[in-house]
Structures are given as structure tokens and as C-alpha cells.
Amino acid sequence: MNRQTELLKNIDWLSVFLYTILVIMGWLNIYAAVYDDNHSNIFDLTTKYGKQFLWIGAASVLAFFIMLTDSKFFTAFSFVIYGLIIGLLAAVLVFGVESHGARSWFEIGGIRIQPAEFGKFATCLAIANVMSRHGFKMMRFSSLALIGLLLMLPLGLIILQNDTGSALVYSSFILVMYREGLHGSLLLLCFITVAIFIFTLLYPPITVISLIITGTLIAFLYYRQNKQELYRIIAFLIGTFVFLLFMKWLFDLSVSNERLLMYTYLLTCIVGVYFIYKRKMRHIMLVMLASWLCLGATVGVDYAFDKLQPHQKDRINNLLGIETDLNGAGYNVNQSKIAIGSGGLTGKGFLQGTQTKYNFVPEQSTDFIFCTVGEEWGFLGATTVIGLLMALILRIIYLAERQRSDFSRIYGYGVASILFFHVTINIGMTIGMAPVIGIPLPFFSYGGSSLWAFTILIFIFLRLDANRLQVFS
């Protein structure tokens, strides 16, 4: 009895309150998104909103049992849970059903379960276990390799399911790694890689290569603080490039200018290595290595882009303005923006949204549920929803920082990172600021798997927090 009383006392009820409010608001928005005059009862189990009520009830039961579970269980059995989910991710490739071009669901008695959703909390537990071990050092190669393996296993299996959106969620763990000691330059390199991908699609390769080389020269000046050396390097680069252009003209070589520029930079690096090694300029060597990684990413963009599904290519092209197809790949986003914009300041009112009510917005109860919020609740309502979601994320970060256990802190940051990724990308894609990759808005999008997975993810952390005075090994 004392144990139960102590548990109730230590539960972070503010987080529970935010979770409950968001779930109820999500349910009401699903009701509004797919409202049917012939089935107006919100508890009608033949409708999506009636089924969502069942999912909410099941999620409540899951949350209850998680809070009754000994917190040490999640530490001791983290790898067992991870292994079981990996097994399910592999099994769905063979026994799963296909929907929307992805084989990601088990169908049991008319109920679909998506293992990819549960892979998030399982991976979070496994990573927290590894990173909280005694002697773990983030910048050690073996440690990075182990974390990479834990991430690549579920990510690779999800990609094989043709569910790229769910796979991209695992990139959010880079924020956890940064919190636990990952060097800022590596985090910066990840953002640079994304920028290179975008720039390579928008601009000619020679422009992107020139920008990378320019950035490398700026970094050289920052570390060396020697303008004379910089001028000599620039002179060598220009001279070599002009010479190669002359040889191309003279012998009528079928070599592109961007390739000549890369040859020029390669020769410059080869010549420079001697002086770098001689003067023990370690930082310059790392800058040079980073520049070649960026150049490699530039060359590999076309190959990677060709491997995407046609609809994914079309969505990226529409997002970047390379193509404009408001009746094709850009239709969903265009209708979503119309719906959100039509809501104005205060919205059209509950169940009064014309864009969503008459099905102008595809997937309006799942991926594009936020457009219902914008149309019926307006700017003020949408801002309130975003504020509540961010309040929950910030609360989780606050709770993570007060943990005595490394395991609990790392897991908490994993929860916050996953939620943040889902919120920013989902809302971003409904307003045309991010590509449409098909990930749900937490607590709002219709579906049992998503709601249950987020519930498990959050309440495991709340259970760990409730027992935060106990330090786990």
C-alpha cells in the first residue's frame, strides 16, 4: 500500500494531464475530419472516431499496466524488447499485408498493427541501455559503431517495407547522441549533408562543389588565421583549374567542368597533405576529410534520388519548386494549405470545415489531420495545439534533466527527440514546409498502432521518472 501511495505521489501528473488533453483533442479532430451525418454518434464503432475511442481505451490500459510495472524491468529487458521488435519488423516483410505501396502491417481479425511504430520505443530502450553503461564514451569508434548498428537494424528493415517516412524518424536520435557527448562538428556535418542534398537538386553540381570548396577555404582561414597561405591556395586552385580547362579545350576531352573542378581540388589536397602532416595541423586534416565527405554526398545525391519511389520524387520536386503539379503530387499539400488558410484567426467552428467535410484533403484523418485543426479552430486553435505539444516535449526534457539514472535521462531525451521530429515534420508537411513522408501527428492522427506506441513511449519514461531516486546500473 505504501508502495502504491509513493508511486502515485511521484507520478508527474502535469505530463499525464498534457497527454490526456492532447488525446481528447485528437479524438475530437478525427471526429470532425471524417464526420458522417448518418453516423453522428462519436461512439459509433463502425466509424473511425468510434474505433479511435477503442484505441484510446486500450492505450489507457497500456499506460496503467506500464505504471504498475517495476521500473527495473525496462532496464533489464531492454534488449529482449528490442530483439522481439526486430523479429516483428522482419516477419512483417513475409507475413504482412500491403497498403499504400508499403508492406508494414499485420492484420489480425480486421485490426492492423504496424510494428514500425513500436520500433521507436524499443530502439530508444536499447540505445539508453548501451549509452548508460559504465565506460561508454560517445566519441569512441566502437561506441559509435554499436549505436549505428542499433539504429541501422530497424531502419533498414523499415526501408525494406517501403516505409521511408517511418525510417527517417530514427534520424532524431542524433539529438540524443549530441546531448550525451557527440561532437558538435559531427552534428553540423549531418545538417550540411541535408543542405547538400537540397542544393544538389536545386542547382548544377559545379555550383555545389564550388560552395563546398569555398566553405573549406573559410574553415582553413578560421583555423590557420594566415591570409598569405590562403592566397597561395586560391592561386593554386585557380591556376590548376584554368590549366585543366585549357587541356580539355586543346585535346577536345569529353570531361564535365564539375569533374575538372573536383580533379583540381584533389590535386590541391594531395599537394597540401605534405605541409599539413609536416606542421601537424590536425584540424585542417579533419576539415579536408569533411569536405571530401560532402563532395561524395554531392556525387551520390543523384543515385540516392533515383532509388526513391516515383511519388516520393514528385513530392520532393514539388516541395523544392522544381516542379509544380497542383493536381498530382502537390495536390495534398495544396488542399491542406487551402484548408488551413481558410480557417482565419478563429476558425470556421467545430464540424463546420468545408475542405475537410467534403473530402478535398486526402488522408485528412491521418497524415493531414492538422489541416482540420487549422480550418475549424483557426490560427488560435492551431497555435494552442502546437503550444500543448511543445509544452509536453519541454516537460519531458525537464524531467530528463532531473534524472539520477543515466538510463532514464537518455531514454527521456529519446522520447523528446522522437516527439519533436514527428510534430515538426508532420505540421511542416501540411503547410508545405517539409516533404510529405507519411508520419502521424502524435495523439491526433487516426490509428491504434501510432497511439499505442506513443503511449508506451511516454509512460515508460513517466514510470522511470516516478522511481528516479533509485539509480540504475
Domain boundary among 284, 308, 332: 308
Please list, residue by residue across 430-464, b when 16 or more beta carbons sit within 10 angstroms of its beta carbon and e when fewer do: bbbebbbbbbbbbbbbbbbbbbbbbbbbbbbbbbb
Domain boundary among 245, 276, 308: 308
pLDDT, one tens digit per residue, over 126-155 is: 999 999 988 888 878 888 889 989 999 998
Q: Residue 472 has what pLDDT?
A: 44
Cα(16)–Cα(392) distance, rounded to whole angstroms? 9
pLDDT, one tens digit per residue, over 432-456 is: 777 777 789 999 998 888 999 999 9
Q: Same structural domain for residues 456 and 372?
A: yes
Q: Same structural domain for residues 117 and 223?
A: no
Q: Residue 74 has what pLDDT?
A: 92
pLDDT at 228 over 50: yes
Q: Same structural domain for residues 218 and 186?
A: no
Note whether residue 195 is domain-resident. no
Note whether residue 473 is domain-resident. no
Cα(435)–Cα(263) distance, rounded to whole angstroms? 34
> What contacts 74, CB < 8 A, 6 or more positions away?
81, 125, 411, 460, 463, 464
Q: Same structural domain for residues 288 and 339?
A: no
Q: Same structural domain for residues 291 and 345?
A: no
Neighbours of 174 (CB within 10 A): 16
pLDDT, one tens digit per residue, over 160-208 is: 888 877 888 888 998 898 888 887 777 777 777 777 777 777 778 888 8
Q: Same structural domain for residues 392 and 420?
A: yes
Q: Same structural domain for residues 301 and 284?
A: yes
The pLDDT > 90 percentage for the chain reads: 32
The structure's pTM equals 0.81
Q: Same structural domain for residues 287 and 345?
A: no
The pLDDT > 70 percentage for the chain reads: 88
Q: Same structural domain for residues 384 and 319?
A: yes
Neighbours of 51 (CB within 10 A): 17
> Which cell numbers hold the place of 304?
540516392
Separation in Å, CA 325 to CA 63, 261, 339, 357, 450: 44, 35, 18, 24, 30
Q: Same structural domain for residues 159 and 215?
A: no
Q: Same structural domain for residues 277 and 316?
A: no
Residue 181 structural domain: 2-190+312-466
Higher pLDDT, 194 or 338: 338
**CA angle, 109 as apex, 107 and 110 as ends, to 5°?**
65
pLDDT at 327 over 70: no
Q: Same structural domain for residues 357 and 262?
A: no
Domain boundary among 290, 308, 326: 308
> Which cell numbers hold the place of 471?
539509480
Say which range, 22-36, 110-124, 278-292, 329-343, has the weakest mean pLDDT: 278-292
Note whether residue 472 is domain-resident. no
Note whether residue 328 is domain-resident. yes
Note whether residue 277 is domain-resident. yes
Q: In the chain, how many domains are there?
A: 2
- 72 close to 472: Cβ distance less than 8 angstroms: yes
Cα(43)–Cα(39) distance, rounded to whole angstroms? 9
